[in-house]
Chains A and B, each alone.
Chain A
C-alpha cells in the first residue's frame, strides 16, 4: 500500500476537522483523494455533515415570559 494513502478507518478520525476546514492542506488533499474512489466515506461525511446541521437545529429555546418578567423586575429594582 502507498505510504500516504488514507484508509477509511483513518479518514473517519479526520471527518470533523475536514468539515470544519481545519485540516492542514496536505491532509485535506489526502482526504479528497480518498473520496474520489470511496463512496462509503463520502456517505460517512454526508452523515456527519447532517449530524452537525441537526445539532444546530436544537437551539430553539426562547426566553420564557416568566423568566423575563422576574428579571425585568430585578432590573427595575436595580435602577432605584
Chain B
C-alpha cells in the first residue's frame, strides 16, 4: 500500500463529478486502502475544520471535532449505503458532532438563527445615505457611487493583508451569513448542497449569501478607499 495519496484534486468539489471520485475512494476505504483514506483526508479535512470552527470556541476544539468525525466515518463506512453522496453523509456527521460539542462548550450557534434569515437579513446592502433621497429628482440613484477598482486597487486586493481583512469580516458576520458565505464562496459548494447541509430554504440561503457578500464588498471598499485611493 502506498503511503502517497493518489492524485485527486482537492478543489472544485462542487463542480466536477465528486460522486465518482468519492465513490472510488469510499470503495477503497472499505477495502482497507490507506491511500484512499489519505485522499479523503486531503479532499475534506481542511474544509471540515473550517466548518467545525463555526460551532466551537477554538481551533483545537475544531480539530478535535473533526477527528471524532473521521472516527465515526471509519466506524460507519461499512453501513454507509451510498444512497446520499458521501460528502453529504460526512458533513452531517460533522455537524452533529460539532453541535453536540458546541452545546457542551456553551457556544452552540443557535441553529434556529440560521433559519431566521429574515432577522439577519434586514439590513440594506449599501448604506442608504449613498443614494439620493426620496423627493430628489434622482431619488434612489447613486449620490456617492462606488469607485472603480482599477489596476492600482488590484495590487492591494491581492495582498495578504486584504485576505486577512476578508477573513476578519467573515468572522464578524452573524452565524447564518457566515456559514453560507463560507460554504458557497470560500468552499465552492452549490446552493442546493448548502441548503441541504444547513437545513435552509433556497430563499433563505440566497438572502444570507447576499447580505454576507454585500458586507464583505463594503469592507473591501472601505479598506481600499481609506488607504489606497491615490486620486482623492
Contact = CB atoms under 8 A, between A and B. Distances in A.
Interface string A8-21: 11101101110010
B141 interface: yes
Interface residues of A, number: 41
B45 A63 contact: yes
A72 B32 CA distance: 12
B82 to A, nearest CB: 20
A33 interface: no
Interface stretch (B16-24, B63-71, B83-91, B103-111): B63-71
Nearest to B205: A22
Interface in A1-53: 7-10, 12-13, 15-17, 20, 22, 38, 40-41, 43-44, 46-48, 50-52
B147 A43 contact: yes
A62 to B, nearest CB: 6
A78 B3 CA distance: 17
Interface residues of B, number: 54
Given A12-B214, A15-B210, A48-B213, A55 B181 contact: yes
B228 interface: no
Contact of B67 (A15, A46, A58, A70): A70
25 contacts: A7-B139, A13-B124, A15-B210, A40-B141, A43-B147, A44-B126, A46-B148, A47-B149, A48-B213, A48-B214, A50-B220, A51-B217, A52-B185, A54-B157, A54-B162, A55-B213, A56-B185, A58-B186, A59-B187, A63-B41, A68-B41, A70-B67, A74-B74, A75-B34, A78-B75
Interface of B: 3, 10-11, 32, 34, 37-38, 41-42, 45-47, 49-50, 63, 67, 70-71, 74-75, 124-126, 128, 131, 139-142, 145-149, 157, 162-163, 166-167, 181, 185-188, 191, 206, 209-210, 213-214, 216-217, 220-221
